[in-house]
Structure 1
Amino acid sequence: MATSASVSNLFAAAPRGKARPLAIARWLEIVAAMVVMIVVVGGITRLTESGLSITEWNVVSGILPPLSEAAWQAEFAKYQATPEYRLEAALTGMTLSDFKFIFFWEWVHRLIARVIGLVYALPLAWFWWRGAIPQGFKGRLLALLALGGLQGLFGWLMVQSGLVGDMTDVSHFRLSLHLLTALTLLAGLVWTARDMRLVAREPSARPAPLTAGSALVAGVLFVQLLLGAWVAGLNAGHAAYDWPLMNGRLVPEIDWSGGIVWTLTHDPFLLQFLHRWWAWVAVAALVWLARRVRKTDRFASVAVHTAFGTMVLLGIATVMSEVSLWIAAAHQLVGALTVAATAWAMHSDGLARRAAKADG
């Protein structure tokens, strides 16, 4: 009941021209939670190899799944023309029932994307019309809308990359672009929601600054997320199932014959190795950030510690379970939560450093 009341309060009547930063903060937090959800569903879509099951992007008509046997057969026929089906799925004897399973995950992924777009765009228009957006934030809210649209475009370009030539998977470069744009959007939503709550407490408050230390932490985490996206896109999680060794070796055998750049961006053994061990660089950076904000924002500190600790354990479990679907999906879920917690802590770090500078 409390949750329902808080959601309904977002659009409660208010005088036109009166800023409503707290309502906007709650709305952005709802959208952020939905972005976490779509990141998880996107991970399941990738793990079940469902992403190429829908070969077209129909913004309106694609909202509904096939509703008749003939419609299902027509969608299956489109999928049967793809390289993934001809070179992989056909060899396993995929049935229409099997196709319906992978179609479901891609359809749900796209449906959630549409819902997120509406849940963001419609309230944004309402807040704008009511003059409820605090001064200086309209440009940022529009930028977040554009980033969401861009993320959807990258998703379609990713799908297209798996529908040409002899590709049986989407481009791992485009997959990483799609995922990292979503996580950047998540961080932006969290940061802006924190700014709005700050303005709700003190109308004259300025947005939190980004400190050099926080920017460095973000860069370290970005590299780890990029490596994780490439590992997912190349199915490199299957390169080794033991830990801390890889196939009984501390450093796996790597074929450098393709050149340094190609190997660094394509070799599954090297990428899994880098993802495993760069994780500890990310852990060190996140520990530093969490300890830095512990006195001024204990919640953020605990959230960062909890998120990255759980993410590391789930990463190890993913490897040792031979990439169990639900463990790997949980790993991606906690990865998104780590981004959200880190953005929160970075925001708190900016406020603390600014306050310290003012006092000093």
Structure 2
Amino acid sequence: MARRPIFQEVSDTQPAPQPPSGGMIDAAPKGDRRGIRIWLIVLYVMLVAMIMLGGATRLTDAGLSITEWKPVTGAIPPLDQAAWEAEFQKYQQIPQFREVNPDMDLAGFKAIYYWEWAHRLLGRLIGLVWAAGFLFFLATRRIPTGWTGRLLLPGLLGAVQGAIGWWMVSSGLTGTLTSVASYRLAIHLGLAFAILGLIVWYVLQLSRSEAALMRARRAGEPKLFGMATGLMHLAFLQILVGALVAGLDAGRMYTGWPTMGGEWFPAAAFDMTPIWHNFFENPALVQFIHRMLGYLLAIYGLVVFLKSRRSPHPVTRGAFSAMIVMMVIQVGLGIMNVILASPLHAALTHQLGAVVLFSLIIRARHNARYPYETSVRGTIR
């Protein structure tokens, strides 16, 4: 082989050396992240509507108007007079009619029937939207790597939610209860919020590429993330207790603020035996716990917010600022609701506030773990 001169020109025909490729971070993104994100946002909006409609159904005492569970044929309401009469006769056999609505006529029955029918119909539509979207993305191989199981989970939980919904309704069809069991209502609402929170987290995860998330996690703030996680759990517990309040109509029994009917601690808080029944079935104690948890949540939320002010990431600080503003609003809505003795419009506004606050807590928590990169030119999105 001939020796090459030191200053020999390199021919243009020689290929330039290429850096190794194929690394996970540099790989092209796989899956339709944007399409799946839009689908999940649609499901989120439908779930919020479902939660609100469920609240209206409970507050109007309409949840027991449909006494049978027919997942398919139940989507069609009564279409003629005979069918309406048959449904009304079934309702007349349960304790709620005999003890609460003995003077109700067919027109009054139709009014509460349509609340429950709409609630169940929306649940069916949510299931169809989830199934259609999941099967489409699965069949067209648009699901990103590692996301198939994650996207399957909301659908499975939704199926469980339907069964829990009937389990809840069945508690008021026999025996002595004139409404659904409050603890079953709390489980039903709690699972709805769990599904909602899962979808919020997925939407946030899909808003950036896997490579961007991996880089962001290295700049995450573990302490702030842990505190936000605790705040999320505390908010979820408050939502469960709020469901007990709604199930017992406790918000309409003790009005006034800051006292409860003139008492700082209700004298009837432990009237039931055995004593543990009071924590689930005594309106006085349940409402007192809901108030105290509200104060605790607000105080801890303020602590987490102050911690977030030390974050070097502007978007993270903004997320926690939005969270604390909504928390103040929600406290005000709660006080207004109890002073007004929980009318339908105030109760539903308070419930919507819980949805917004819970979503904002999850968003702030996500930003604590995956902060947006910043440079001298601003935030990199």
Bin for the TM-score computed over the shorter chain? 0.7 to 0.9
Kept after mapping to 2: 8 A contact 1:190/1:340: yes
Equivalent residue number for residue 224 of structure 1: 238
Moved more, 43-52 or 343-352: 343-352
Moved more, 39-48 or 270-279: 270-279
The amino acid that maps onto 2:319 is A
Kept after mapping to 2: 8 A contact 1:21/1:200: no
**Alignment deviations for residues 231-250 of structure 1 (CA, whole Å, 9 cap, x no partner):** 11111112211111111121
Matched ranges for 1:283-298 at <5 A? 283-293=298-308, 295-298=314-317
Q: 1:209 to 1:155 in 2, by over 3 A?
A: farther
Distance 1:70 1:113 in 2: 27
Kept after mapping to 1: 8 A contact 2:56/2:115: yes
Equivalent residue number for residue 190 of structure 2: 180
| 1:54 and 2:66 aligned | yes
Give the match's secondary structure for 1:297: helix
Kept after mapping to 2: 8 A contact 1:20/1:200: no
The amino acid that maps onto 1:80 is Q
Distance 2:372 2:38 in 1: 26
* Number of residue pairs the alignment of both structures matches: 337
Give the match's secondary structure for 2:256: coil
User: By how many angstroms is 1:153 displaced?
Assistant: 1.3
For structure 1, which runs of at least 5 residues remain unmatched after alignment?
1-16, 356-360
Note the aligned Cα RMSD (angstroms): 2.4
User: By how many angstroms is 1:284 displaced?
Assistant: 2.3
Distance 1:292 1:190 in 2: 23
**Alignment deviations for residues 164-190 of structure 1 (CA, whole Å, 9 cap, x no partner):** 112211111110000000001000000
| 1:281 and 2:296 aligned | yes
| 1:234 and 2:248 aligned | yes
Kept after mapping to 2: 8 A contact 1:19/1:131: yes
Kept after mapping to 1: 8 A contact 2:30/2:145: no
TM-score by structure 2 length?
A: 0.83
| 1:72 and 2:84 aligned | yes
**Alignment deviations for residues 313-347 of structure 1 (CA, whole Å, 9 cap, x no partner):** 22111111121111111111111111111111111
The amino acid that maps onto 1:213 is M
Equivalent residue number for residue 300 of structure 1: 319
Distance 1:27 1:291 in 2: 35
| 1:310 and 2:329 aligned | yes
The amino acid that maps onto 2:151 is L
Selected match of 2:154 from 140, 144, 149: 144
TM-score by structure 1 length?
A: 0.87
Equivalent residue number for residue 114 of structure 1: 124
**Alignment deviations for residues 270-290 of structure 1 (CA, whole Å, 9 cap, x no partner):** 111111121011112333444
Q: 1:249 to 1:129 in 2, by over 3 A?
A: same
Equivalent residue number for residue 347 of structure 2: 328
Matched ranges for 1:1-360 at <5 A? 18-90=30-102, 93-199=103-209, 202=212, 211-257=225-271, 258-293=273-308, 295-352=314-371
Moved more, 224-233 or 288-297: 288-297
User: By how many angstroms is 1:227 displaced?
Assistant: 1.1
The amino acid that maps onto 2:264 is L
**Alignment deviations for residues 57-103 of structure 1 (CA, whole Å, 9 cap, x no partner):** 1122111211111111111011001111112111xx11111111100
Q: 1:283 to 1:340 in 2, by over 3 A?
A: same
More helix by share: 1
Q: 1:36 to 1:239 in 2, by over 3 A?
A: same
For structure 2, which runs of at least 5 residues remain unmatched after alignment?
1-28, 375-381
Distance 2:60 2:92 in 1: 17
User: By how many angstroms is 1:306 displaced?
Assistant: 3.3
Moved more, 267-276 or 211-220: 211-220
Distance 1:173 1:218 in 2: 21
Distance 2:320 2:156 in 1: 31
Distance 1:145 1:104 in 2: 26
Distance 1:126 1:293 in 2: 40
Rg larger for? 2
Distance 1:95 1:306 in 2: 46
Sequence identity (%):
36
The amino acid that maps onto 1:248 is G
Distance 1:252 1:153 in 2: 36
Q: 1:204 to 1:227 in 2, by over 3 A?
A: closer
The amino acid that maps onto 1:58 is K
